[in-house]
Structure 1
């Protein structure tokens, strides 16, 4: 019996040494969780035994238990690196569309040749689907999908509307709109430009020119004329040119026939009206829409583009104050094909992609799971675990909500191994091994003594 007790002690000490060595070996492994060898004494009894004089039968390993306390966070320069600050595990699958899922705290992800986010073993990171506003449409493990980061953003959208908000300086010198020439800066007071797109995603520069017309201001009202050009080519408004009343005598009263916002060459523009407080009161015509931009209209688009494209100009409450010309808003609703410029991951796990066309697209929300008994998880290597009967089923949820931790982008969770503690444990396990070896040696000496009795 004493041999068996000593052997069990040696085996336990060896298990402790192996566990400690494994912890030390993985001190730099991202997402690694240290283990602890747990032991219990062996004690056999029966109804006929005397428990007061019984001796134990040695020691047995009950469990090598994982310790899931938080590891320290290490900052990186890779936006796809993620760390969980708090509870939860990332979800990965061995293939696209498969339910062979494993769970990990190691967030060193990258993009593969097909633009999917994967770990170092090629497992696909799983996320919840989201709508165009970035809200999760489902928070269920069965609906998770492999997260893909497209390198382009959709199809081109041709511009149909331009929004303008600015201040026109009431102190500008009046000019003759009929003499307007976009190549001569002396024939207009101010101008501003915006990039618009045709149906093929080709960019074009749309410029708006503003002229304070001669005799266009009188008691209670001021008028400005606006002309429009695309890539330097004149683009007239669809329909008749805007009109404004005039005060030819300077007595503050309207006394002449209305004049057209039109150049000598027939370039038709619009009229912008302000009251005596400098507040915008409307335009003439009311709807400012260009001619079709194709060959049969303004003829400013290239071959193959949708020639029926028109652009509506929307003045968003411009002002006319005694201050310099200033553009406060300049928008358009078209886009070209965008190339991926950046990937961002929020604390709630929302993955967004930014593209060169200025669009930011929500792609997915990183899925997290938790377990009733984390120590019941089955280790499968590569710093990953699988669910078991002991761990209970995986419960999915969003990061930074409930009991789930937040996600830190450009960070990695380091191993939670305390090297100093492990070195002390190593010494203790070594001493334990030596002591049990000595017990075995003493038992052997006693047996030799008995065998030598004659």
Structure 2
């Protein structure tokens, strides 16, 4: 029986050395989680129990458990390299079969899909609609769409304006070519339906105490393309803007309820060789609303800031960014930004129940429970760090100590077998 006890000890020691060696071998494996061997003693028993003088029958490997604690983060500078700080696994799909990993070494294939490092599985996440809104709940293959961003015609403009109350009232007729005929010009780039840029020029003219006129021209002309003249039928039409005694906006165009000036009838065009012609593009049918609700008349220099414009030209994708929640945003050459998807993280009730399948990946089992999918920083999910990879959580110093202990453990069990052999030889010689 002692031989069997010693052999069980040798087997256990060998398995401990295997686990330790595997940890050491993967000390530089991205997203690797260290393991430890757990042992249990063995006793022979009957229906009446083992008795008070029972001698053990050796040892057995009870389990090999993994430590899912976080490894350190190594910066790479590659935006598609991702690490998870906290709980959660990246989700990969290979022909519909899901696996889970902490190794965030991703790249794109020829079709723009985000895949693992060897291209055998696609990263899973949540898609975004045409407006950049994330569609939660349904996993899909994440894809980096590199197509151009279609232009958007301008429909509204906003800004914060102060008109200097100290400005002198102007009594001469407005003439766009005469700077003495207006107090302050403001220019805003606007866009037609084809993404062509145009200049919306507005001229503020102080006409009296707390009263101003605002003239609007597009590309230096009336919105319909006719030339702006003085004293003729094609004069730009002024819109009166009135302030109260406290410098707050009181009315626009004679209406206290109106807070914007709307430029209507705009026909997009351009001047070629001194001749204006429509360019074939369109404009917003309801006109362009220029918000004046944040306009004041205080004793300060006339200024304009915080300009907003909902129109833009055609944009080409320049780069992408991924935030802590996993939202992938595309940045375009026209200064626009749009969400194109969100990386999903999976969490399990019992991580120890996951089945390791190699490649720093795991599979769901009955013991692990079903995964819950969501973005980063949601619930118990950790945050996603783009441009970094999670290193192995193996403590090399501790593993080397365990290696020495395992070697001693193996030698000691071998010694019990050697001793038993010597005893048996002695007994045989006595016979």
Structure 1 and Structure 2 fold alike (TM over 0.5): yes
State the match for 1:360 in structure 2.
Answer: 337
Please report the TM-score for the alignment, with normalisation by the length of structure 1. 0.78
CA distance in 1, matches of 2:55, 2:64: 26
Greater mean deviation of Cα atoms: 118-127 or 429-438: 118-127
Shift in CA distance, 12/190, structure 1 to aligned 2, threshold 3 Å: same
Q: State how far apart, in whole Å, the 2-side matches of 1:287 and 1:350 are.
A: 36
Q: Corresponding residue for 1:210?
A: 204
User: How many equivalent pairs are there?
Assistant: 418
Alignment of 1:313-352 (within 5 A): 313-317=289-293, 318-352=295-329
For residues 34-433 of structure 1, what are the structure 2 equivalents within 5 Å?
Answer: 34-46=34-46, 51-94=51-94, 98-122=95-119, 123-129=121-127, 137-139=135-137, 143-152=138-147, 154-163=149-158, 165-170=160-165, 171-172=167-168, 174=170, 176-181=172-177, 185-186=179-180, 188-212=182-206, 216-217=207-208, 222-230=211-219, 233-236=220-223, 262=230, 266-275=234-243, 277=245, 278=247, 279-283=249-253, 287-294=262-269, 303-306=279-282, 311-317=287-293, 318-433=295-410
Partners of 2:50 and 2:298 in 1: how far apart?
A: 106
| Larger displacement relative to structure 2 (441-450 or 413-422) | 441-450
Query: Aligned equivalents of 2:391 and 2:30: distance in 1?
Result: 5
Change (3 A) 1:427 1:302: farther
CA distance in 1, matches of 2:366, 2:89: 18
SS at match of 2:296: coil
Q: What is the CA distance between 1:431 and its match in structure 2? A: 0.6
Shift of residue 177 of structure 1? 3.3
Query: In the superposition, relative to structure 1, how do residues 146 and 130 fare at CA in structure 2: closer, same or farther (>3 Å)?
Result: same
Displacement of 1:452 after TM fit?
Answer: 5.9
Query: What residue is the counterpart of 1:249 in the other structure?
Result: none
Equivalence for 2:27? 27
- Equivalent position of 2:411 in the other structure: 434
Q: Secondary structure at the residue paired with 1:234?
A: coil
Change in CA separation of 1:300 and 1:35 when aligned onto 2, cut-off 3 Å: farther
Q: 1:222 to 1:395 in 2, by over 3 A?
A: closer
Whether the 8 Å contact between 1:198 and 1:301 is mirrored in structure 2 is: no
Compute the displacement of 1:432 (Å): 1.0
- Residues 126-183 of structure 1: per-residue CA shift (max 9 Å, x gap): 11345678776443xxx211222323464212223444552333424626335431xx
2: CA distance, partners of 1:328 / 1:360: 21
Stretch moving more, 325-334 or 413-422: 325-334
Alpha-carbon distance change, 434 to 339 in structure 1, aligned in 2, over 3 angstroms: same
Measured in 2, the distance between the counterparts of 1:86 and 1:345 equals 17
Cα RMSD, aligned residues only: 3.6
Structure 1 residue 433: Cα displacement: 1.3
Give the secondary-structure state (helix, strand or coil) at the position aligned to 1:347.
coil
* Native 8 Å contact 1:107 1:412 kept in 2: yes
- The offset of 1:425, in angstroms, is 0.6
Q: How far did residue 34 of structure 1 move? A: 0.7
In 2, are the aligned partners of 1:152 and 1:337 still within 8 Å (CA)? no
The answer (yes or no) to whether the contact 2:33–2:392 under 8 Å persists in 1 is yes
SS of the aligned residue for 1:389 comes to: coil
Q: Decide whether aligned partners of structure 1 residues 348 and 315 sit closer, same or farther in structure 2, where only a CA change above 3 A counts.
A: closer
- Counterparts of 1:401 and 1:50, CA distance in 2: 52
The alpha-carbon distance between structure 1 residues 52 and 413, as it changes in their structure 2 partners (threshold 3 A), is same
Native 8 Å contact 1:74 1:414 kept in 2:
yes
Per-residue deviation, 1:13:
1.1
